[in-house]
Amino acid sequence: MSGGDFLELAAPGIDRLQPYVPGKPIEELERELGLAETLKLASNENPLGPSPLGLAAAREAIAGVHLYPDDNGFRLKGKLAGRLGVAPEQIILGAGSSDVIDMVARTFLAPGRNAVFSRYAFAMYPIYTTAAGAECREAPCLPPDHPRMPFGHDLEAMAAQVDDDTRVVFIANPNNPTGTWLKRDELHRFLSGLPGHLVVVLDEAYTEYVEAPEFPDGIQWLKEFPNLIVTRTFSKIYGLAGLRVGYGVASPELISTIGRVRHPFNVSVPALAAAEVALDDAGFLERSRRTNREGLAQLASAFDGMGLAHIPSVGNFVTFELPVDAAPVYDALLRKGVIVRPVANYGMPRHLRVTVGTREENDRFLQALREVLA
Ligand SMILES: *Cc1c(COP(=O)(O)O)cnc(C)c1O
């Protein structure tokens, strides 16, 4: 038996797959450069740490990890259902919301089918689509000089990409890495115009941060659109990224269909426990929201002062443009112990994305950036 050309053996699409590039871990930078006290503003994590209530619950739950978790997530689903005004049968839990997005892709995508998403949309959409052997249909986004939403999703362009073979449409609201968002009326109009032979993933990973009155809550549309699934996560504002827990909400029929491909016990014992009580940590959420609101303003005015264009963001991150190639700037920031996120893999070689930190962290990042650009 000879072999070894595993890419040739792999299922259709795997040879075209470009793996996800995560933000650089703090430990890796400290190991490589012998630095201490590094600052990571690269993965949209909560600078205030984990929800304290969630952390305490996870600590307590650790004592029970010789047992498998409740595969049905009864308590967390019950809590979420009450919060969101839906039935528990309308909820599926995931190891992060990306797990739920992957379930949708594995359920509905295959060779000969396609998924539609915007240029500069979240990088996991093409990965899950390609891994399922399906075609990626990337719609152009709004132009960089668009008066209201530069780099935003162009819903008309997205609708034009939909055909008989489309089975999934991905929308991130707000989107990462652009921080752009869609208003209630325009998104509702888009959903109303789509055919019924596809599923729409409305990815609301940052929804808890958004304070604009015209920002929609996709869960209110589930009765009207049985082929809509809204995904949310405990990784961002709840500060539980390392535990891996998120969820999807949709019609019971759609939830039970994607549940066929869910890995058993996909959410761990401490993750279930932490998520359940983090939902009640209203004080922490309010502090997180305020820190982010103030940090967004701090970064925007600093970028303006430095003459750097940035994309107006409602998330917990800002993508800004450099007058030069961003790669050497990213490297120089690393050597100063500051990790931000290159977005060249999104086709934005002159941009960098920075996560909103505490006031002090933002100051440290801005100081390092000024020194690098001087
Ligand atoms: C962070 C993020 C997610 C989900 O992350 P999980 O940790 O898997 O929940 C999903 N969508 C977008 C746009 C994100 O930025």
- Convert the pLDDT of each residue in 264-275 to its tens digit: 999 999 999 999
How far CA 321 is from CA of 30, 114, 192, 200, 352, in Å, comes to 27, 32, 35, 31, 7
Beginning with the edge strand found earlier in the chain, give each strand of the sheet holding 199-203 in spatial order: 91-94, 246-249, 228-233, 199-203, 166-172, 114-118, 135-139
d(C-alpha 205, C-alpha 110), whole Å: 25
Ligand 1 site: residues with CB under 6 angstroms? 44, 96-98, 122, 172, 176, 203, 205, 233, 235, 241, 246
Residue 3: per-residue pLDDT:
61
Q: What are the start-end ranges of the E strands in 161-315? A: 166-172, 199-203, 228-233, 246-249
User: End-to-end alpha-carbon separation of the chain, Å?
Assistant: 60
Give the pTM: 0.96
The number of the ligand 1 atom at minimal distance from the alpha carbon of 44 is 1
Mean pLDDT split into 10-residue runs, the chain, 374 residues? 78 88 86 87 98 98 98 98 98 98 98 98 97 97 94 98 98 98 98 98 98 97 98 98 98 98 98 98 98 98 97 98 96 96 94 98 98 96
The answer for 34, left when phi > 0, alpha when psi is -120 to 50, beta otherwise, is: left
Token representation of residue 9: 């053996």
214, 184 in Cβ contact below 8 A?
yes
Cα(203) to ligand 1 centroid in Å equals 8
Cα(279) to ligand 1 centroid in Å equals 18
Does domain 52-278 bear CATH number 3.40.640.10? yes
268, 240 in Cβ contact below 8 A?
no
DSSP label at residue 310: B
d(C-alpha 134, C-alpha 126), whole Å: 9
pLDDT, tens only, 123-149? 999 999 999 999 999 999 999 999 989
Cα(374) to ligand 1 centroid in Å equals 34
Pocket perturbation via mutation, ligand 1, pick of 46, 97, 104, 206 by most ligand atoms within 8 A of CB: 97
May I ask the CATH architecture of the domain 21-49+282-373? Answer: Alpha-Beta Complex (3.90)
Q: What are the start-end ranges of the E strands in 20-125? A: 39-40, 91-94, 114-118
Q: What are the sequence ranges of the domains in the chain?
A: 21-49+282-373, 52-278
